[in-house]
């Protein structure tokens, strides 16, 4: 067990079998509804509190906390038990509070323009490591409540399917976040999309499209070679038909790469039959990708043209760019295996690799 949040109610009951029957429910509720650590559960006998503090560890050790947007955006770098580092972002808005969480340390998808992709894959996160990110962010957000969780931090959620879905169920049930306000974002892992189609929980699905042309998408999102656009469209059509849930496409606008009139035509033709919503993301700078984002005038034109063609398109507001907390900027030196460098726990080298 990496985290106290790795335990399902039955596991907790087994751990507390020497206690009165109501105890495990009390502890489970304290962890989830109360967002409390075992030490803080003052409704428990002191001896039990002490024992739980020892046997129910926290998986996440805060390494750094960076704040931007007048305190409305907070990014944490958390060290895990084995020295891997993940990042979590809390974003407070007028009408909602969103947490962006990681599902893997690093990522194996190798998208060229994404800092996490540039840093490579280290390992999957456990369910508890995923859930605990939301719990720690929710504590920091108090007295406001977390209303939305986006699986858009480090890693590819559908490549860690079972642990991610167990986390989804926990966030939805015990933590009380509505399933529609849980958004899983994927590069387009078709078998994962097919499994998600069969799930009863109506989570929202976002697909990182970035190009609706196989030659160009192969270069930007390498998994496209395995699950090309046609195959992806078939799975998405079935998802939309079966679930009647909203589908959205993410599109980071890169100057001269995917912001041309041809791109608009191809995207409109791809998105319209799926009734997908397009979320345009102004490209955020990353150390390993030196191509520029589209100008703000071009971003505007791109959005307007799509809307005119009947594809609902909005611009994703950028948060936390100057603390490397924006889309595609999450990376951590501690996860880089290819280059030799110190990964001492407790060191504070947690931001993007040099050059940022
Ligand atoms: N692996 C999943 C979850 C990550 S979501 C996925 O790719 O969907 C993070 C989003 O930010 C993805 O849509 C990703 O393509 C996008 N992104 C990556 N690098 C970016 C950058 N430099 N600027 C803007 N968006 C970027």
Q: For residues 152 and 325, give the distance between their C-alpha atoms in angstroms, rounded to a whole number.
A: 11
Residue pLDDT, tens place only, 50-77: 999 999 999 999 999 999 999 999 999 9
**Superfamily for the 84-351 domain:** Aldolase class I (3.20.20.70)
pLDDT band with cut points at 50, 70 and 90 for residue 211: very high
The overall average pLDDT reported for the chain is: 92
4-55 has CATH 2.40.420.20 classification: no
- Where are the domains positioned within the chain? 4-55, 84-351
pLDDT band at 351 (very low <50, low <70, confident <90, very high): very low
* Per-residue model confidence (pLDDT) at position 356: 28
Determine the Cα–Cα distance for residues 118 and 127; give it in Å rounded to an integer: 25
Whose CA is closest to 191, among 155, 231, 139? 231
Rounded CA-CA distance 184/206 in Å is: 6
Q: Does any ligand 1 atom lie closer than 6 A to the CB of residue 299?
A: no
d(CA 214, CA 201): 31
Cβ of 327 below 6 Å from ligand 1 = yes
Residue 1: what pLDDT?
83
| 341 against 241, higher pLDDT | 241
The whole-number pLDDT of residue 129 equals 98
Q: Quick one: which of 279, 287, 351 has its CA closest to 311?
A: 279
- Please give the pLDDT value at position 346: 31
Residue 333's pLDDT is 63
Strands 121-124 and 104-106: antiparallel
Beta strand pairing status for 85-92 and 148-151?
unpaired
| Nearest atom in ligand 1 to 329's CA | 22
208 CB less than 6 Å from ligand 1?
yes
Q: What percent of the chain has pLDDT over 70?
A: 93
Mean per-residue pLDDT for 77-93? 96
Q: What is the pLDDT of residues 154-178, one digit of tens each?
A: 999 999 999 999 999 999 999 999 9
Residues belonging to the active site: 87, 327
pLDDT at site 349: 30
| Dist CA 351 CA 345 (whole Å) | 14
Closest atom of ligand 1 relative to the 285 alpha carbon: 22
- Of 154-163, 166-175, 304-313, 325-334, the one with minimum mean pLDDT is 325-334
Read off the pLDDT of each residue in 146-153 and give the average, rounded to a whole number.
98
- Distance of CA 328 from the midpoint of ligand 1 (Å): 5
Strand partners, 280: 251, 315
Confidence of residue 352 (pLDDT cuts 50, 70, 90): very low
Q: List the residue whose alpha carbon is closest to atom 1 of ligand 1.
A: 156
């Amino acid at each position: 067990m990496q985290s106290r949040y790795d335990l399902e109610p039955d596991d907790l009951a087994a751990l507390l079998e020497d206690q009165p029957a109501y105890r495990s429910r009390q502890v489970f509720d304290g962890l989830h509804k109360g967002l409390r650590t075992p030490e803080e559960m003052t409704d428990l006998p002191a001896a039990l509190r002490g024992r739980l503090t020892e046997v129910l560890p926290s998986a996440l050790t805060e390494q750094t906390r960076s704040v931007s947007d007048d305190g409305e955006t907070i990014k944490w770098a958390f060290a895990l038990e084995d020295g891997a580092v993940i990042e979590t972002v809390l974003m407070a808005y007028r009408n909602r509070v969103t947490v962006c969480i990681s599902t893997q340390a690093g990522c194996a998808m190798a998208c060229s323009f994404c800092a996490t992709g540039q840093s490579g894959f280290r390992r999957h996160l456990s369910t508890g490591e995923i859930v605990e990110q939301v719990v720690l962010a929710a504590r920091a957000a108090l007295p406001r409540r977390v209303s939305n969780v986006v699986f858009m931090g480090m890693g590819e959620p559908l490549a860690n399917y079972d642990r991610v879905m167990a986390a989804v169920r926990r966030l939805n049930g015990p933590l009380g976040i509505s399933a529609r306000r849980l958004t899983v974002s994927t590069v387009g892992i078709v078998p994962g999309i097919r499994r998600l189609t069969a799930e009863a929980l109506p989570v929202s699905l976002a697909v990182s499209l970035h190009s609706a042309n196989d030659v160009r998408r192969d270069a930007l999102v390498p998994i496209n070679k395995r699950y090309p656009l046609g195959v992806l469209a078939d799975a998405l059509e079935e998802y939309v038909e079966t679930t009647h849930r909203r589908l959205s496409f993410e599109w980071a606008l890169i100057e001269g790469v995917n912001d041309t009139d041809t791109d608009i035509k191809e995207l409109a033709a791809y998105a319209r039959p799926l009734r997908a919503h397009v979320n345009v993301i102004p490209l955020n700078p990353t150390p390993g990708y030196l191509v520029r984002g589209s100008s703000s005038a071009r971003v505007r034109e791109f959005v307007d043209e799509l809307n005119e063609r009947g594809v609902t398109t909005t611009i994703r507001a950028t948060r936390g760019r100057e603390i490397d907390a924006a889309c595609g900027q999450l990376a951590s030196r501690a996860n880089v295996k290819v280059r030799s460098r110190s990964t001492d726990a407790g060191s504070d080298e947690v931001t993007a690799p040099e050059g940022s």
